[in-house]
Amino acid sequence: MDGPADTTAQPPSGDAPRLTGHALIADEVTRLDGSPGVYRMLDDKGAVLYVGKARNLKKRVANYAKPHGHSGRIARMIFETASMMFLTTRTETEALLLEQNLIKQLKPRYNVLLRDDKSFPNILITRDHAFPQIVKHRGARTRKGEYFGPFASAGAVNRTLNQLQKVFLLRNCSDSMFEGRTRPCLQYQIKRCAGPCVGLVSQQDYAGLVADAARFLQGKTTAVQESLAAGMAQAAEAMEFERAAALRDRIRALTQVQSAQGINPQGVAEADVVALHMEGGQACVQVFFIRGNQSWGNRDFYPRIGGGAEAPEILQAFLMQVYDDRPPPRLILLSHEVEDADLLTDALSQKAGRKVELAVPVRGEKAELVENAARNARESLARRMAEGAAQSKLLAGLAEAFDLEDVPTRIEVYDNSHIQGTDAVGAMVVAGPEGFLKSQYRKFNIKGTDITPGDDFGMMKEVLTRRFQRLLKEDPDRTQGMWPDLLLIDGGQGQVSAVAGILVELGVDDVALVGVAKGIDRDAGKEEFHRPGQRPFALPHNAPVLYFVQRLRDEAHRFAIGAHRAKRAKSVGVTALDDIPGVGATRKRALLAHFGSAKAVSRAGVEDLMAVDGISETMARAIHGFFHER
């Protein structure tokens, strides 16, 4: 067999009654064989309820045909099943990988589902430049260099980078900025860079700093400390007290990095420590990242588990989903056994291209690491449940205040950010019963050419149009939980009327819409709320729901400003030189290095331009003509 074979259950012909539940599944079993594969259970509307894998499809599916002995969750799923689909595979490992791909794509209601899809950040030491950078990296590893990670969060990376720059003095500026420098930047002045851009450190000495940084990130901290201590002693003996003091400061910074990392196991060089805690129908999975005998932070996950899922099933699904697009470490320490451990080990090893080991330690340092992660999982889940109870009250209060039919489970808040219309960005933040869902935040680069700079109505119209056109295309039946129950927009009656018109044009008439206007004197606490076709109203000054709405609006404002600043910072590097035919990155760097700025290039004569490396007389005349003909 060359690949998965697809078999879809067909409805009975003629006037025969349509089978559902146990009867349907029993009928399907008669047409199955013992091949490995993946099965899907669908409801009467065609929505996928569950995706599962099996070593033997006939035996596995036959278990669902039994009328008794199922958990409440599985019994409900069987009852709702109206059709099934099957994909046979060559091996069970292939079935496991296919199962997780389908779960990620279809998000079935009864599967364990990891809801956090953000990638983990890494530290990258580049290897495509004579003087490598040390930078934060997230996403595909396409750039040449050494990657160290994953780190639990951007904050963990930033703290580590901050200290590493004090210790190893590596640059973090872009290559274009590096090429354009004529004097040291602020990073050099505050002793966080060796100044390679202006020749204040030789390439050989800088390479030594890079090697020390790589050794530290690999866990070889003792060797790095001994090298720095020896250099400090040598400098003191030679009475080079300024150099000795600089090395002393670097040793202190290195010590701060290690102390900030907290847990630094001696017997575990590389591992992820994964612990699960379940309570009240909810689950928290805590993951600690250990690389080079150093802890690189921890992150908690709250997978959707449904009622009745057991720890082995939850952990297996979690591991397959969390390592779907991330390389697994050589060792994964677990708090519980997992389903099909050998199969899971084989699948993860295939993904990593090397052996991956799963272990449930019972004693020693590894067991202590797991217990620490389990304690964190327990405490995190307790906090989340307490916050969830408070959040539920706020959502119920919001439904009452805005006269909504039901308590909202998904609120989308929109805002725009720009400076006099430039670098305009729209932002959407999402909140629900679990609080802010940051993995579902979205930013929209305003693309409309017919929008007048500063036209907030036009920007909001574009953002909402793009958002709902995509929803109508990707989830017209509203089965994936991505449709909002309530829209909050920053604005008054004009904005609300504009957005309401957009929704009517798109045929969306059942999503509640509220505009939040600043009110009298634009003071917090005096907000006015606008709904289509209704008079504006206010909430009591000390109402918890008012504070909740303010928090939602402020979060949207924060996210919009952050997206705008990022876009503006990116555009700062764009100059008029980018529009000149024949001037690529190399010539641009040469011109900026020679003249100092694009403005100075625009004022230069043809002969001055010809003095720049790589600029011929023809090119010099083209550059001169570009600026002066304009």
Residue 396 resides in a domain: no
Mean pLDDT of 579-599: 80
pLDDT of residue 116: 67
Residue 496 resides in a domain: yes
Mean pLDDT of 328-333: 94
DSSP for 254-301, written as a single string: HHHHHHHT----SS-SEEEEEEEEEETTEEEEEEEEEETTEEEEEEEE
Mean pLDDT of 360-379: 92
Q: Assess whether the previous peptide bond of 150 is cis (omega < 30° from 0).
A: yes
Mean pLDDT of 332-360: 92
- 93 and 131 in a single domain? The answer is no
Helix, strand, or coil (residue 524): coil
Q: How many domains does the chain have?
A: 5
Residue 310 resides in a domain: yes
CB 269 within 8 A of CB 285: no
Q: Smallest Cα–Cα separation from 280: which of 382, 186, 140?
A: 382
Q: Which secondary structure element, helix H or strand E, spans residue 414, and what is its range?
A: strand 411-419
Least confident span in 52-66, 282-296, 541-555, 587-601: 587-601
Q: Say if residue 215 is exposed, middle or buried (CB neighbours under 10 Å; 0-12, 13-18, 19+).
A: middle
Mean pLDDT of 295-307: 84
- 197 and 324 in a single domain? The answer is no
Q: Is the confidence at residue 486, as pLDDT, over 90?
A: yes
Q: Is the confidence at residue 448, as pLDDT, over 80?
A: no
Residue 95 resides in a domain: yes
Residue 442 CB contacts under 8 Å (≥ 6 apart), including other chains: 427, 428, 467
Last residue of a domain, one of 207, 230, 260: 260
Query: In the beta sheet, which residues pair with residue 318?
Result: none
- 68 and 100 in a single domain? The answer is yes
Q: Which two tokens stand for residue 80?
A: 């709702």
| Position 7 confidence tier, pLDDT thresholds 50, 70, 90 | low
Residue 373 resides in a domain: yes
- 475 and 542 in a single domain? The answer is yes
pLDDT of residue 351: 85
Q: What is the CATH number of the domain that holds 496?
A: 3.30.420.340
CB 465 within 8 A of CB 414: no
| Position 63 confidence tier, pLDDT thresholds 50, 70, 90 | very high
Q: Is the confidence at residue 8, as pLDDT, over 60?
A: no
Residue 204 CB contacts under 8 Å (≥ 6 apart), including other chains: none
- 160 and 39 in a single domain? The answer is no
Q: Smallest Cα–Cα separation from 260: which of 224, 294, 300?
A: 294
Q: What is the CATH number of the domain that holds 613?
A: 1.10.150.20
- 252 and 144 in a single domain? The answer is yes
Residue 400 resides in a domain: no
Last residue of a domain, one of 531, 548, 571: 571
Mean pLDDT of 540-567: 86
- 293 and 429 in a single domain? The answer is no
pLDDT of residue 1: 41
- 56 and 76 in a single domain? The answer is yes
- Strands laid side by side in the 48-54 sheet: 5-8, 83-88, 37-42, 48-54
In this predicted model, what pLDDT tens digit does every residue of 388-412 receive, in sequence order?
A: 788 889 999 999 999 998 999 999 9
- 421 and 562 in a single domain? The answer is yes
Last residue of a domain, one of 242, 260, 278: 260
pLDDT of residue 373: 92
Mean pLDDT of 58-70: 90
CB 130 within 8 A of CB 92: no
**Can you tell me the distance from the alpha carbon of 528 to that of 515, in angstroms, rounded to the nearest whole number?**
8
Confidence (pTM) = 0.67
pLDDT of residue 449: 65
pLDDT of residue 12: 47
- 158 and 74 in a single domain? The answer is no
**Can you tell me the distance from the alpha carbon of 371 to that of 361, in angstroms, rounded to the nearest whole number?**
10
What percent of the chain is predicted at pLDDT more than 70?
88
pLDDT of residue 71: 83
How many CA atoms lie within 13 Å of 520's alpha carbon, on the beta-carbon side? 5
Write down the mean pLDDT value for the chain: 84
In this predicted model, what pLDDT tens digit does every residue of 119-145 receive, in sequence order?
A: 788 899 999 899 999 999 988 888 899
For the chain, first and last CA: distance in Å? Answer: 66
- 317 and 422 in a single domain? The answer is no
Least confident span in 80-84, 498-502, 590-594: 590-594
- 161 and 240 in a single domain? The answer is yes
Q: Is the confidence at residue 70, as pLDDT, over 70?
A: yes
Q: What is the CATH number of the domain that holds 58?
A: 3.40.1440.10
Residue 31 resides in a domain: yes
Residue 114 resides in a domain: no
Least confident span in 137-141, 329-333, 420-424: 420-424
Compute φ and ψ for 280, nearest 5 degrees: 60, 35
Q: Which domain holds residue 600?
A: 576-629
CB 353 within 8 A of CB 379: no
The winner for highest mean pLDDT among 47-61, 214-228, 465-479 is 47-61
In this predicted model, what pLDDT tens digit does every residue of 158-197 receive, in sequence order?
A: 888 887 888 888 998 888 888 888 888 888 888 889 999 9
| Position 206 confidence tier, pLDDT thresholds 50, 70, 90 | very high
Q: Which of residues 163 and 365 earns the better pLDDT score?
A: 365
